[in-house]
Amino acid sequence: MSSPLVVMKFGGSSVANADRIRRVARRIARERANGSRLVVVVSAMGDTTDELLALAAAITDDPDPRELDVLLATGEHQSATLMSMALQSLGTPAISLTGPQAGITTDGTYGKARIAGIDPRRVDAELAQGKVVIVAGFQGRSVKPVEHLDDAPGASDAHASEITTLGRGGSDTTAVALAAQLKADRCQIFTDVKGIYTADPRLVPDARQLPVIGYEEMMELAHQGAQVMNVRAVELGWVNDVVIEVLSSFEDAPGTEIREDPLVEQRNKVRGIAHDRNVAKVTLVAVPDQPGVARRVFDPLASSGITIDMIVQNVGHGGATDLSFTIPRVELAKAKRILEPLVRELGARELTTDSSVAKVSIVGAGIQNAPGYAARMFGTLADNEINIEMISTSEIRITTIIAEDRVEDAVRALHAQFALEVPEAAETAAG
């Protein structure tokens, strides 16, 4: 029987400088000495990705998405090569591979590409030679036909390979996708907290670490802003039945397992609270209340890749209505460029934007079983004089938009209201 295969992923703070890279390398070398075959996925060092984005923004406010992806991918190239050198200097054979070298192919959407497939042959070959394989996270290769100036016979078969990135937090996705493709025995995500908590432990001091969380609840939390796991990574884990362990890279402590949750039916509490500051609210004031207006607003936003989150359209008065929606704050400048001319064309009164809002959500499978969660949530915010600007719900989530400077108060008050520091009856009964 071959030795167990483990995929280990280390996030930006775990590899933020040379000392930390050497420390992580020692941990990997120990694991290797225990006999496991290892595929290690790394993020860019510390805030490298933000720094590269800032550099691009200093050059232009509308960078070419293709060039931006090639630039961003270099962050993970740095950390992967340095990790490989650190392992080699400990006497552990290792090799670094870029995403494309590791056989990861994606669709052609720069900035948020989805993994289309993984050809595992190179990784398998390196593993077979006893090497630890370090894979640069957050990137892949898309293939598209080369555009030709002429129609020379045969030329249309030529293909161009392009570097793509998977969206923020995408190294998690690289790790889970590799674990699924390679049928790894374990998939471990090492980060700067001990696991998944009932709320961001940096905001809520008495947030409780969860031993287990189901895929669906974790996906909602991630989607609503808990950046500890990338949404797409959790989705891939769910679809491929990969148990994802989230654990600290700084201490040896039990982590959290993201897996099918056997107790989900018995849960009757809120499971966690997520917040997201990467939100901006856009309002078209007094747009004509006519068929086709929403399409004219949302079509061009969609074509330029801007994701719309919540939408609220007020009841029309005198033939006009206000249309508000939220988008990622980082896309506000782009959205304004698209919408400003449209406001004039549509005959709306004005376009207003607010980038000082944030999203706060309560999440839990229990929400669908019992009424009253919405009332308790809104009541708690009211008691704290926090104004709710927008609301949306799903079966297992209630989300509000509030002022950004009240996020901390809101999350703490809701954490206390739903007594999240106390384990659920179902958990304690299970031992």
Cβ neighbours of 82 (radius 10 Å): 20
Instruction: Rank residues 127 and 218 by Cβ distance to ligand ADP and give the closer one.
Output: 218
Among 10, 138, 197, 238, binds ligand ASP (CB under 6 A): 138
Classify 113 as helix, strand or coil: coil
The size of the interface with ligand ASP (CB under 6 A), counted in residues, is 13
Q: What is the DSSP string of 341-381?
A: HHHHHHT-SEEEEE-SEEEEEEE-GGGGTSTTHHHHHHHHH
Instruction: Rank residues 43 and 324 by Cβ distance to ligand ADP and give the closer one.
Output: 43
Q: Which backbone phi and psi does 349 adopt, to 5 degrees?
A: -70, -50
Contacts of 206 (CB under 8 A, 6+ apart): 415, 421
- Verify binding: residue 272, Mg ion, rule CB under 5 A: no
Shortest CA distance to 122 belongs to which of 160, 96, 92? 96
- Verify binding: residue 137, ligand ASP, rule CB under 6 A: yes
| Binders in 44-63 for ligand ASP, by CB under 6 A | 44, 49
Instruction: Rank residues 105 and 171 by Cβ distance to ligand ASP and give the closer one.
Output: 171
The minimum distance between CB 109 and ligand ADP, in angstroms, equals 21
Q: Which two tokens stand for residue 180?
A: 């699924």
Instruction: Rank residues 77 and 376 by Cβ distance to ligand ASP and give the closer one.
Output: 77
Task: Name the DSSP letter for residue 266.
Answer: G
Q: What is the DSSP string of 197-226?
A: BSS-TTT-TT--B-SEE-HHHHHHHHHTT-
Binding site residues, ligand ADP, CB under 6 A = 11-14, 43, 169, 191-193, 196-197, 199-202, 226-228, 272
- Verify binding: residue 75, ligand ASP, rule CB under 6 A: yes
**Which of the stretches 166-174, 255-263, 309-317, 405-413 binds ligand ASP when contact is defined by CB under 6 A?**
166-174
- Using CA atoms, how far residue 45 sits from 13, 19, 86, in Å, is 7, 12, 14
The minimum distance between CB 169 and Mg ion, in angstroms, equals 4
Please state, in angstroms and rounded to a whole number, the distance separating the CA atoms of residues 129 and 269. 50
Identify what 224 binds: ligand ASP, ligand ADP, Mg ion, none; CB under 5 to 8 Å per kind.
none
Instruction: Rank residues 204 and 233 by Cβ distance to ligand ASP and give the closer one.
Output: 233
Bridge-partner residues for 164, per DSSP? Answer: 140
Identify what 168 binds: ligand ADP, Mg ion, ligand ASP, none; CB under 5 to 8 Å per kind.
ligand ASP
Place of tokens 């747009």: 287
Binding site for ligand ASP (CB under 6 A): 11-12, 43-44, 49, 75, 137-138, 168-172
Binding site for Mg ion (CB under 5 A): 11, 169
